[in-house]
Amino acid sequence: MITDSIHGANLVDIVYGEVPAPGDVAEDFIEATKIHRDAMGWDAPGVRILETTPEMHPVVARAGQRHLSHATIELPEPEPLPTAFDDVLRRRVSAERLTADPLTAEELSTLLRHAWEPQPGTGPAHGGPPRRPSPSAGALNPLELWVVVRNVRALAPGLYHVEMPSSGTALLTRVRDVDVPALARAALQEDMVLAAPVTLVVTMMPWRSRFKYGPRAVRFALMEAGHTCQTLLLTCAAMGLATRPLGGFCDDEVNELLGFCGVDQVPLYLVPVGRPC
């Protein structure tokens, strides 16, 4: 217990009142997802199963949805990023506004392929799991990446699933129309999503790592969404594009509009992207 800490602002009383209420879901989540040395076999039941079952390794490496019955578009080769990394780090900031100007398919490809494509020689096509620019606990990759296209030259508007299972495979699959004004309202950042030529969506499929890590997997997937979102934001900064990560939205409205079930496919981040004002 730390007793001599000094807080710039003490908000704990506002959260708890005088006595913490029983059944606090935020505390219950932290408690339920702890790892205890004496109970590791129960806390993370799949670790041992995976260690002792080599036949599972190729199955686990195939994580990632494919929409094989839909037509796919191959993304062009990405342009090199034009900005030095120290400048990228200094530029990253959440925009208040962006313009409605269109992006090109080449720009979208540059963004997605730099931020999400597996590292060279990785992914099931190369005999192992994808290793992306953002880390994933146990390389189990419980996240999916989607793009709501509103205004990209040569691409029909709609929801696209980003399919990059292995390095060298970079596909966009159009899965449905999207009511962008309704999505903008659901995002609680109406102006930005309404204007954005594209809005990226990061979702998690918790069971892909729950089979190994149990409830702890949800902590991991939330962390991974943070890594992935930061990689997307930094790539946008390197390209001179404006962004803002949105984590506070009306979940069920977003699920309905984008066709996610909300339990196995859980939206975590919406990221409108466009040119700076």
Write out the residues near ligand FMN by the rule CB under 6 A.
93-94, 189, 244-248
Q: How far apart are the C-alpha atoms of 201 and 258, rounded to whole Å?
A: 10
CB of 34 to ligand FMN, least distance (A): 22
CB of 188 to ligand FMN, least distance (A): 6
H or E, element range at 91: helix 85-91
Given the complex with ligand FMN, which of 172 and 196 has the nearer CB atom? 196
CB of 144 to ligand FMN, least distance (A): 18
CB of 236 to ligand FMN, least distance (A): 12
Given the complex with ligand FMN, which of 95 and 172 has the nearer CB atom? 95
CB of 222 to ligand FMN, least distance (A): 9
Given the complex with ligand FMN, which of 128 and 247 has the nearer CB atom? 247
Token couple for 35: 């790892």
Given the complex with ligand FMN, which of 215 and 247 has the nearer CB atom? 247
Question: Could you tell me where the DSSP H helices lie in 168-267?
Answer: 180-186, 190-195, 207-213, 216-238, 251-258
On whether the CB atoms of residues 142 and 221 are closer than 8 A, the answer is yes
H or E, element range at 163: strand 158-163
Residue 47, class by beta-carbon neighbours within 10 Å (0-12 exposed, 13-18 middle, 19+ buried)? middle
Query: What are the φ/ψ torsions at residue 174 (nearest 5 degrees)?
Result: -80, 120
Given the complex with ligand FMN, which of 57 and 85 has the nearer CB atom? 85
Tell me the HSE value of 112 on the side-chain side, using a 13 A CA sphere: 34
Given the complex with ligand FMN, which of 94 and 119 has the nearer CB atom? 94
CB of 95 to ligand FMN, least distance (A): 8
SS3 71: coil
Q: How far apart are the C-alpha atoms of 261 and 240, rounded to whole Å?
A: 34
